[in-house]
Amino acid sequence: MGHLTPKDSYSNISDISLDYLINDMGIKGLIFDFDGTLLRNKTVSLDTLNFLKKAKERGLKLSILSNNPYVSKTILKTINITATKKFACKPLKKPFLDMAKTMKLMPEQIAVIGNNRISDIWGANRANMYSIYIHNLNSHRTRKRAEDTLNELGIKHVK
Ligand SMILES: [Mg+2]
């Protein structure tokens, strides 16, 4: 398996099966990425909030690892996850392993959920954690459509 290949891939957090993670994979904790994962389109969806609630009810420990130095306190309060690390320097292994210690879990008992193949998926795989990739199909489609339109106009290279 490639370093950038996730174990699972979904378009929404709420598509993740808690039964599978808990019963089949022995997962006891989740580490979430923040931007583009919990926070999408500047908000945390109701589906995501419900997923977090269910995960807590099932006894999973939840935490956040973000490379962003700024994570909204108001949103953190809403989603009620206390173990958070900003400016985490993912994909280094250390922030993942430090968070495992904070959560009092072994790396293999933790699933990492993120939308970046390098910082989240590569980092999780290197730390020997279960990696779950959240792909943003809509933004990809939107971008593709924009690129197609530009191609039709004869504009090839857009950064
Ligand atoms: Mg992200």
pLDDT in tens, 63-87: 999 999 999 999 999 999 989 999 9
Q: Are strands 110-114 and 83-85 parallel, antiparallel or unpaired?
A: unpaired
Q: Per the domain annotation, does 159 fall within a domain?
A: no
Residue 3 lies in a domain: no
Q: How far is the CA of 152 from the centre of ligand 1 (A)?
A: 31
Q: For residue 45, give both structure tokens.
A: 């969806």
State the pTM of this model: 0.86
pLDDT score for 138: 61
How confident is the model over 41-59, as pLDDT tens digits? 889 999 999 999 999 999 9
Predicted local distance difference test score (pLDDT) of residue 153? 76
Domain containing 139: what range? 8-152
Q: Answer whether residue 26 is part of any domain.
A: yes
Inside any domain, residue 125: yes
- The number of angstroms, rounded, from the C-alpha of 27 to the middle of its chain's C-alpha atoms is 15
Q: How far is the CA of 84 from the centre of ligand 1 (A)?
A: 14
Q: Which ranges of the chain does DSSP label H, i.e. alpha helix?
A: 18-19, 46-57, 73-79, 93-102, 123-126, 137-152
Tokens of 158: 């857009």
Looking at residue 23, which CATH number applies to its domain? Answer: 3.40.50.1000
CA of 33 to the centre of ligand 1 (A): 5
Ligand 1 centre distance from Cα of residue 106 (Å): 23
Q: How many domains does the chain have?
A: 1
The span from the CA of 14 to the CA of 125, in Å, is 22
Position 140 confidence tier, pLDDT thresholds 50, 70, 90: low
157 within domain boundaries: no
With a pLDDT cut of 70, the percent of the chain lying above it is 89
Domain assignment present for residue 91? The answer is yes
**158 in any annotated domain:** no
From ligand 1's centre to the CA of 154, what distance in Å?
Answer: 32
